[in-house]
Structure 1
């Protein structure tokens, strides 16, 4: 498995999400966190822990409806959960053995973007231009 492809998948996710206007972008990403939290429910191989993790993800996603910080935080436990599944559970895609590892590499890319406020490239540039000390 390539370790680079999941990074590009995370970047592609971010760029596609930048096409969605605010506040819908944040809310859609909160829903994505909730969906990611339930991804292993039907066969992750960790029993009742799958339900506990889904409950945690649902709470964080709910808080993320109004907060980019919570959306970003939501991707971090999912990253850890992907690592647990890669080592002890079943992969997120049953026929792709290293899919959970790929997800664990992709998710932090998304988390960093969310923790930065889920801004579009144009918004980043605009912010950089108006920062103190920038010409």
Structure 2
């Protein structure tokens, strides 16, 4: 379950955020990725190096205001930070020892969705069901 649940959480996050209409969806995601860059600041597990990610993510989030690709890059950068924190035993949530590990699984799910252009999950599902209905009607 330590791998399945973070994937499910990533899929739920993507589905919920995809309910926001464009172009606000991309803007909200840029803000979310900026916030993710500061998620580890209070723990200090990497010492002064903790200041690197927020600085980099601020730039990435700014670029993400106009680009889903940059937002996806931001989530992958955060994944790297998750892995580092997991390896040095400094979890994102101090009361959940595997939280950084789980975050490192969840974040790439979000990144993949961003690299796909942040589409509406419900719109995608509706299109798929509509195509199936059309295909069934033709046979």
TM-score clears 0.5 = yes
Separation (CA, whole Å) in 1 of partners of 2:75 and 2:89? 19
Deviation of 1:48 after TM superposition, in Å, equals: 1.4
Note the alpha carbon deviations across 1:48-73, whole angstroms, 9 max, x for none: 11111110011101100111010111
- Count matched residues: 131
Match of 1:27 in 2: 27
Match of 1:93 in 2: 93
Note the alpha carbon deviations across 1:71-109, whole angstroms, 9 max, x for none: 111100110110000001510001000000000000000
Q: Where in structure 2 are there 5+ consecutive unaligned residues?
A: 131-139
Q: Where in structure 1 are there 5+ consecutive unaligned residues?
A: 130-135
**Contact 1:44–1:91 under 8 Å retained in 2:** no
Match of 2:61 in 1: 61
Note the alpha carbon deviations across 1:34-59, whole angstroms, 9 max, x for none: 11110001113111111111100111
The structure number with the bigger radius of gyration is 2
TM-score using structure 1 length: 0.89
Separation (CA, whole Å) in 1 of partners of 2:23 and 2:106? 23
**Contact 1:34–1:61 under 8 Å retained in 2:** yes
* Structure 1 stretches of 4+ moved >6 Å: none
Cα-Cα RMSD: 2.2
